[in-house]
């Protein structure tokens, strides 16, 4: 029995490992190549950044080759990581149970969450590793009854250098990423092919018979497990003649930038605490992409820039086309919610002594899902009813709604449950 797993991020790597443990021959196909973290001192780029010589958002991939950015609308930038390890390489390492929309349809992933948390190792950043201004913002949020809490992370704090650059790759290896699961799967006999983009699933008699690569090569298999993310999975399905759902969500992120002399916010892990609000979270976060590539942020130096983010659960209204183009507007309602949440963030920053001018960073989304959503009738099998019986999905595409929370743990939990359903049916 051969399974072709498309994608090597949190979902793909988890599925590959679980299927390999179950005795299945696994071939993992990853469109991207080997990932190298950013290891240079980011401050060295300050002079050219302030002159605008780094360019704009379209030049991000020159800085970190794994990043792929694209405009899905005038207001929204979508960010993906195309590399062996997928999005896990460039997250902040946060591990939160983002499952409200799953519990609404009757899907309880408690067992998978507990197992994965034990595997990756969960810790929080000790408060003595937080910058003074971050502690003060936390205290302001406490006084206002916002219930801030330390963020659970898959980070070995003894190895963490507090460089603040988790989203450019972890140079010390302190942060967990899915390459650890991939390595274990390969030691059990699985095969990984990097630089191998999949074009479509080959269908014969209404069933998957394998996949065709972007270069034309055909790889045969007994089942196909798609874990290429909310965009990649939807694109492959559409090219294959299977319609995904036009319900892409992205978890909108907007960072409010302020100024405090010598704040040195990068000298701590990002997002060390968060406050969960109604449909969004607030967290201290210096958005490196906005700092490097967003023109309105050029006037403030790295040591003096202070950021705090809103991560918003937005409307699932995106559509993925056959060429990978995405149409994803930001609704008027979501714009109003972002504005209100940003005002709240700005008020917390002011309460902590952060000064203006307060300038919004790039509005972007990097948690991409919802394009093959599970329904209540699918929960038992973990197999969306719209798919042929031997095509499975093991990523956030299965998640019906945007959570407005970190999603790596949930992507892995969905993949783990789906893989066990696959094995049960063999």
Confidence of residue 125 (pLDDT cuts 50, 70, 90): very high
The answer to whether the 2-33+176-247+370-424 and 125-171+252-365 domains have the same CATH topology is no
Q: Answer for the pair 410, 418: CB distance below 8 angstroms, yes or no.
A: no
Specify the pLDDT at position 53: 74
**Where do the structural domains in the chain lie, given as residue ranges?**
2-33+176-247+370-424, 125-171+252-365
CB atoms within 10 A of CB 143: 10
Nearest to 164 by CA among 305, 250, 264, 72: 264
Specify the pLDDT at position 329: 97
Q: Answer for the pair 84, 16: CB distance below 8 angstroms, yes or no.
A: no
Digit-coded pLDDT (tens) for 154-187: 999 999 999 999 999 999 999 999 999 999 999 9
Would the pLDDT of 43 be above 80?
A: no
Of 55-69, 273-287, 316-330, which range is least confident? 55-69
Per DSSP, the three-state class of 64 is: coil
Structure tokens at 205: 């008699």
Q: Answer for the pair 408, 8: CB distance below 8 angstroms, yes or no.
A: no
Structure tokens at 30: 């990853």
Would the pLDDT of 83 be above 80?
A: yes
Digit-coded pLDDT (tens) for 263-275: 999 999 999 999 9
Domain 125-171+252-365, what fold? Glucose Oxidase; domain 3 (3.30.560)
Specify the pLDDT at position 57: 84
Q: How far apart are CA 66 and CA 85, in angstroms?
A: 10
| Cα 274-290-149 angle, rounded to 5 deg | 5
Q: How far apart are CA 84 and CA 80, in angstroms?
A: 13
- 25-29 β-sheet, strand order: 191-193, 25-29, 2-6, 223-226, 391-393
CATH number of 2-33+176-247+370-424: 3.50.50.60
Confidence of residue 45 (pLDDT cuts 50, 70, 90): confident
Digit-coded pLDDT (tens) for 368-392: 999 999 999 999 999 999 999 999 9
306 burial (CB, 10 Å; 0-12 / 13-18 / 19+) is: buried
How many residues does the structure list for the chain?
426
Rounded to the nearest angstrom, the gap between the alpha carbon of residue 295 and the centroid of all alpha carbons in its chain is 24
- Percent pLDDT > 90 in the chain is 92
More reliable by pLDDT, 39 or 235: 235
Nearest to 98 by CA among 291, 249, 264: 249
Would the pLDDT of 40 be above 80?
A: no
Q: How far apart are CA 417 and CA 11, in angstroms?
A: 10
Structure tokens at 64: 């970190």
Specify the pLDDT at position 59: 80
Structure tokens at 238: 């559409």
Would the pLDDT of 243 be above 90?
A: yes
């Amino acid at each position: 029995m051969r399974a072709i797993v498309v994608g090597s991020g949190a979902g793909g790597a988890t599925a590959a490992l679980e299927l390999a443990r179950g005795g299945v021959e696994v071939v993992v196909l990853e469109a991207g190549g080997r990932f190298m973290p950013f290891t240079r001192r980011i401050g060295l780029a300050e002079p050219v950044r302030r002159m605008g010589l780094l360019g704009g958002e379209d030049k991000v991939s020159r800085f970190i080759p794994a990043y792929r950015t694209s405009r899905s609308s005038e207001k929204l930038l979508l960010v993906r990581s195309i590399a062996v390890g997928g999005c896990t390489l460039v997250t902040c390492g946060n591990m939160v149970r983002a499952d409200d929309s799953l519990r609404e349809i009757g899907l309880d992933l408690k067992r998978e969450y507990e197992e994965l948390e034990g595997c990756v190792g969960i810790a929080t950043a000790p408060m003595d590793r937080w910058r003074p201004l971050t502690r003060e913002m936390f205290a302001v949020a406490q006084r206002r009854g916002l219930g801030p809490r330390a963020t659970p992370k898959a980070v070995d704090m003894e190895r963490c250098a507090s460089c603040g650059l988790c989203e450019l790759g972890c140079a010390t290896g302190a942060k967990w990423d899915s390459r650890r699961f991939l390595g274990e799967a390969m030691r059990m006999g699985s095969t990984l092919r990097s630089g191998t983009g999949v074009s479509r699933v080959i269908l014969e008699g209404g069933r998957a018979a394998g996949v065709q690569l972007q270069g034309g090569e055909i790889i045969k298999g007994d089942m196909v497990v798609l874990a290429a993310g909310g965009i990649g999975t939807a694109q492959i399905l559409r090219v294959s003649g299977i319609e995904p759902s036009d319900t892409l969500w992205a978890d909108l992120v907007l960072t409010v930038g302020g100024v405090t002399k010598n704040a040195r916010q990068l000298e701590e892990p990002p997002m060390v605490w968060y406050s969960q609000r109604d449909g969004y979270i607030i967290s201290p976060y210096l958005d490196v992409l906005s700092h490097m590539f967003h023109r309105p942020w050029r006037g403030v130096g790295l040591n003096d820039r202070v950021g705090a983010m809103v991560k918003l659960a937005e409307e699932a209204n995106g559509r993925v086309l056959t060429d990978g183009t995405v149409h994803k507007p930001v609704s008027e309602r979501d714009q109003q919610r972002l504005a209100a949440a940003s005002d709240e963030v700005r008020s917390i920053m002011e309460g902590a002594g952060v000064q203006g001018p307060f300038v919004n960073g790039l509005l972007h989304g990097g948690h991409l899902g919802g394009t093959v959503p599970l329904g209540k009738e699918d929960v038992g099998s973990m197999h969306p009813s719209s798919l042929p019986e031997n095509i499975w999905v093991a990523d956030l595409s299965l998640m019906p709604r945007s959570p407005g929370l970190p999603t790596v743990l949930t992507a892995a939990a969905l993949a783990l449950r789906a893989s066990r359903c696959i094995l049960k049916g063999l």
